[in-house]
């Protein structure tokens, strides 16, 4: 069954899509898009729902579109893949206007253009609540150039792009606004940046394992440790925290180390052989425009150990005591 007006809306959406990318032989409008990948592909799907992953009262349609594509592309960044194509499913509730739908698409097409992603297809449906499901396909010449969660070796350096805690602080500020100066934190929450160039630089520099931080440093480090069959030792004092997030924690009487469990920063956590650390740091800064910081080491064993500057040891499940 086709929702009323779907064909009209699809036509208006297609008018706004930029020309297809080099790999796309046939874009939106047929039964399927046709591409010629020419090597290995990395494919990931992400669902975003109103009330779960965003709130329509806090984010504009444009920001919702941006965030849906950004979080999907972040998975490609974590593979060290080049962004390729995106396919978008929209579930549209009755109170989401056609104009809002087009604004949502504008947020997506702007990020697609900035990252070289081709919006190659999609589907629309009526829905009780707004949701998006985004499939992204990334590319690499051969599978071996893509970086998995498994592969970290004892002795590798554990490295992190950028800084964390900003997105969670931004979420708090959306509910309890303080000052204009906090807009950088709010933007981290509403308009995350997928670290695609940094991910490719890390892959080329020999990263042995990689993951993007959606669930929080502790939880995502746990995923990487489990997949690689290693123990990750993290020095909390080395982890770059967003300055505004630390200030917010202090102002609200919370231990700033809770930010180590804060999610949605979409930074990359990777293991790099110690003798590649210098090369990786230079490459991430040069190509990704992002700082790369060593935050710990890979050891034999299992699990994640986070050492606070005062010597306390935290398990990823132990953050609640700080919150």
Binding site for a second copy (CB under 8 A): 1-3, 25-26, 29-37, 39-49, 51-53, 75-76, 78-79, 81, 85, 87-91, 120-129, 131, 133, 135-138, 142-143, 146, 148-150, 210-212, 215, 227, 263
Q: Shortest gap between Cβ of 30 and a second copy (angstroms)?
A: 5
Backbone angles phi, psi at 210, to 5 degrees: -155, 150
Neighbours of 236 (CB within 10 A): 21
Q: Shortest gap between Cβ of 288 and a second copy (angstroms)?
A: 17
Residue with smaller CB distance to a second copy, 89 or 246: 89
Residue with smaller CB distance to a second copy, 197 or 211: 211
Query: Mind giving me the DSSP string for 104-171?
Result: HHHHHHHHHHHHT-EEEEEEEEE-SS-EEEEEEEEEESSGGGS--STT--TTPEEEEES-BSHHHHHH
Q: Shortest gap between Cβ of 191 and a second copy (angstroms)?
A: 17
Rounded to whole angstroms, the Cα distance separating 314 from 299 reads 17
Distant-in-sequence, close-in-space partners of 110: CB < 8 Å, separation ≥ 6? 62, 66
Q: Shortest gap between Cβ of 251 and a second copy (angstroms)?
A: 24
Q: Shortest gap between Cβ of 233 and a second copy (angstroms)?
A: 23
Residue with smaller CB distance to a second copy, 76 or 239: 76
Residue with smaller CB distance to a second copy, 51 or 309: 51
Residue with smaller CB distance to a second copy, 6 or 235: 6
- Evaluated on CA atoms 78, 111, 53, 14, the torsion sign reads negative
């Amino acid at each position: 069954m086709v929702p009323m007006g779907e064909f009209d809306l699809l036509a208006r959406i297609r008018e706004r899509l930029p020309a297809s990318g080099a790999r796309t032989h046939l874009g939106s409008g047929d039964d399927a898009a046709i591409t010629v990948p020419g090597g290995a592909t990395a494919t990931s799907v992400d669902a975003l729902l109103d009330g779960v992953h965003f709130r329509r009262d806090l984010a504009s349609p444009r920001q919702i579109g941006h965030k849906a594509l950004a979080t999907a592309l972040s998975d490609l960044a974590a593979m060290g893949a080049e962004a390729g194509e995106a396919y978008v499913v929209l579930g549209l509730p009755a109170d989401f206007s056609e104009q809002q739908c087009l604004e949502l698409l504008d947020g997506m097409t702007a990020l697609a253009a900035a990252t070289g992603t081709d919006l190659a297809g999609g589907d629309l449906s009526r829905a009780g609540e707004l949701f998006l499901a985004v499939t992204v396909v990334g590319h690499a010449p051969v599978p071996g150039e893509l970086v998995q969660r498994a592969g970290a070796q004892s002795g590798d350096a554990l490295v992190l792009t950028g800084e964390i805690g900003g997105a969670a602080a931004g979420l708090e500020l959306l509910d309890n606004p303080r000052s204009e100066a906090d807009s950088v934190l709010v933007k981290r929450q509403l308009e995350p940046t997928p670290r695609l160039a940094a991910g490719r630089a890390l892959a080329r520099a020999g990263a042995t394992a990689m993951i993007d931080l959606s669930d929080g440093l502790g939880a995502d480090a746990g995923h990487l440790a489990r997949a690689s069959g290693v123990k990750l030792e993290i020095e909390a004092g080395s982890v770059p925290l967003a300055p505004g997030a630390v200030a917010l924690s202090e102002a609200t009487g919370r231990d700033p180390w809770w930010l180590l469990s804060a999610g949605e920063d979409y930074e990359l956590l990777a293991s790099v052989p110690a003798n590649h650390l210098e090369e990786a740091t230079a490459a991430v800064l040069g190509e990704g425009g992002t700082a790369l910081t060593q935050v710990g080491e890979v050891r034999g064993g299992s699990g994640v150990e986070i050492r606070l500057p005062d010597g306390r040891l935290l398990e990823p499940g132990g953050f609640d005591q700080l919150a």
